[in-house]
Chain A
Amino acid sequence: GAVVSQHPSWVICKSGTSVKIECRSLDFQATTMFWYRQFPKQSLMLMATSNEGSKATYEQGVEKDKFLINHASLTLSTLTVTSAHPEDSSFYICSAGAGGLKPQHFGDGTRLSIL
């Protein structure tokens, strides 16, 4: 089946640091990639949708200057949490879709802890 690799799986860093999370589709071309945030014991909240070669579309309430998304190729999207603070600590999950009726495939998530 389709595989999406997300890296790193866990990161701990100091407040004020910028953190980059990578999402790769390993065996298919992902025309669209999605970034979700999940708080403990809660559902996934869509943060943004990115299409290869164009600007990401952010959901209401998500700061685009805080969460920078780059989708430079059909197999790679990155999420950079800039100047991270403790309230940014969360579980971030990416997914990739090949378009049409093909379902999204999810990465294993990144647990971000800001001290």
Chain B
Amino acid sequence: GENVEQHPSTLSVQEGDSAVIKCTYSDSASNYFPWYKQELGKGPQLIIDIRSNVGEKKDQRIAVTLNKTAKHFSLHITETQPEDSAVYFCAANGNTGFQKLVFGTGTRLLVSP
């Protein structure tokens, strides 16, 4: 089955800096890669996703890149703000048999004013 590894586990940046979180996946058949943000005391919420037919997707200050050959994808947050502080999870769908999301172990992002 699919296996997703996520790095780093924690990331501290200054407000205004950029943050990058990286994930690798094992199943070459995976074709959907979402990113979820989890704020304290809440459930994860989708912030951006990418499908295997594109290499990059942007939504305001966040972007995701996908390298299918290397089987890795990354989340980029520019001009970070304190409200970006949260836990971020990447996932892949393991497109073999019944598709279900397999999540990375999460990255705790702390943005200091």
Interaction A to B:
no
